[in-house]
Copies of this chain bind each other. A is one copy, B any other.
Amino acid sequence: MDTCSPKQLNTMKDLTLRQQEILTFIEHYEWRNGYWPSIREIQEKFNFKSTNAVMGHLRALERKEVIERIPGQARTFRINRPDAPEMNEIPEDATEVVDIPVMGDIAAGYPDRVEPAGEIGRLQVDIASAGYSSRRRSFALQVRGDSMVDAEIYEGDMVVIEPRDPHDGDIVAALIDGETTLKRYMKKGNEPPYLKAENKFYPELYPINELTVQGVAKAVVRSL
């Protein structure tokens, strides 16, 4: 633990491959399930024959201050993410911000299979303005195409989707022809609902059934 080459510090990123895998699994598990994994669940995931294999890694992660734990208590983790560097004064009209990891791959239907693709980057979103209500299981989609330009949503933007039933006028993520696209959900009175592209050059209407809508767009995020 000495080493002491001047620049060498435990800067959070000198994790072993194995340690990184463990960490990723823990974070991912929590996202999928809403609660943290137990030691033995981690053990099982990595086919360890002993819980102590997990313990070793957790101790390492704790030593490197990547995670925090409450000794003796079940399924209690805390992930330490790096802080932004300190700088100038914070404006008074600033609002608090959410940290959103953008993960590279996700399983088709998020059940089990999530291999450590790791995160592509992190987005930070002001939560109050994003209007989240669902704590987890929201996800982001990257916009392809120009079908929503009239709503000022452009190619490459990230759209935060919250799974829930749409109301008239909502922008929704809809599964059409096996692909997820953004459309505006329209439902007037007792008429059957339909989906509509927000581009005057795409005056298409789409039929809709129960399973088409995957969620409602809550916010647009454009990374700069």
State whether B222 touches A165 (Cβ < 8 A).
Answer: no
Q: Which of B6, B95, B154 contacts A152 (CB 8 A)?
A: B154
| A154→B224 CA distance, assembly (Å) | 14
State whether A106 touches B102 (Cβ < 8 A).
Answer: no
Interface flags, A62-100, vs B, CB<8A=1, else 0 = 000000000001111111111111111111111111111
Tell me which residues across on chain B come within 8 A of A219, comparing CB atoms. 123-125, 221-224
Interface flags, A153-197, vs B, CB<8A=1, else 0 = 010001011111100001101010000100000000000000000
Q: Closest B-chain residue to A144, C-beta based?
A: B93
Q: Which of B31, B106, B133, B214 contacts A81 (CB 8 A)?
A: B133
Instruction: Say whether, besides A76-B75, A96-B101, A217 and B221 are in contact (CB < 8 Å).
Output: no
| A88→B209 CA distance, assembly (Å) | 12
Q: Which of B94, B99, B131 contacts A127 (CB 8 A)?
A: B99
State whether A152 touches B222 (Cβ < 8 A).
Answer: yes
Kindly state the interface size class of chain A when it binds its partner: 35 or more
Tell me which residues across on chain B come within 8 A of A83, comparing CB atoms. 133-137, 164-165
Q: Point out residues on A near B: beta carbons under 8 Å.
A: 1-4, 6, 9, 27-28, 31, 33-36, 38, 73-104, 106-110, 119-120, 122-142, 152, 154, 158, 160-165, 170-171, 173, 175, 180, 211, 213-215, 217-224
Ordered nearest first, which 3 A-B pairs have the shortest CB separation? Answer: A94-B139, A126-B140, A87-B163
